[in-house]
Amino acid sequence: MDKVVIVTGGAGGIGSEICRGLAEDGLKVVVADFIEQAAARLAEEIRRGGGEAVALQVDVGEGGSVGQMVRKSLENYQQIDFLINGAGVISRFPVVEMAEEEWDRILRINLKGTFLCSQAAARQMVIQGGGAIINTVSQAGLSYSTWQGPHYHAAKAGVIHLTTVMAMELGPYNIRVNAVAPGFTESPSSVPLLSPPPAREIIVSQIPLGRLGTADDVVQAVLFLASDRAAYITGQTLVVNGGSPGFSRDPRQM
């Protein structure tokens, strides 16, 4: 497959697995991450495995950095067929304790960053005659809780609505825009939520499929939405959560 994909947050836990999965599917991968050394290590790993990849440093919340990411991607591969918006951060503060700076930080990366990267990639896709954008969100954007933080819920809900609006605007240019919303997934960011041990059992007991999600579950959803099998799907949020209804309270306190 002679296609090119940019993955932001590509050196992170799930992001790195998305990069590996796309490379295995034959795509040329731009591993874009704030931590340049981590992106470089992953790109080198992909190349050693026979794939094609380059590493780029990017601050998704800064328009100049995003523009540079797109320009350097084009210098390397001359086209952008897919963008996976995987860059994201989470922190947990109740409303009365949250600093203004923390609210701004979470929305800057999760929501503004998704918009800036999508805008920059879409401009190139319009010139090329099409493409696809996939936003990594969270079940938190569709449900509510008192433990994931109002700023995180607001950001992820915002990305879900942004996904729909961009799909409407970009559809006439043959650009599809969808989102993947994982539920509880084994990843570095989930480790604190799974300790002490009873928390894991409580979470799993309320997931109909009886297990936590894996990075590969998310990867497979991304691969599907990037493939021709999803050629008539746009403006949708694919929830990958094992049927879980979500948790309104912190599982560690249940």
- Report the catalytic residues: 152
CA-to-CA dists, residue 253 to 19, 29, 147, 205, 211, angstroms: 35, 41, 10, 15, 20
Spatial separation of the C-alpha atoms in residues 55 and 73, rounded to whole Å: 9
Residue 67 φ/ψ, nearest 5 degrees: -60, -40
Spatial separation of the C-alpha atoms in residues 193 and 177, rounded to whole Å: 31
Nearest Cα neighbor of 225 from 215, 214, 233 is 233
Spatial separation of the C-alpha atoms in residues 136 and 24, rounded to whole Å: 20
Q: Quick one: CA torsion of 185, 187, 189, 190, rounded to 10 degrees?
A: 50
**Tokens of residue 51, six digits:** 């794939």
Spatial separation of the C-alpha atoms in residues 141 and 205, rounded to whole Å: 22
Burial class (CB in 10 A: 0-12, 13-18, 19+), 205: exposed
Spatial separation of the C-alpha atoms in residues 197 and 201, rounded to whole Å: 7
List beta partners, residue 239.
181
Nearest Cα neighbor of 113 from 59, 33, 64 is 59
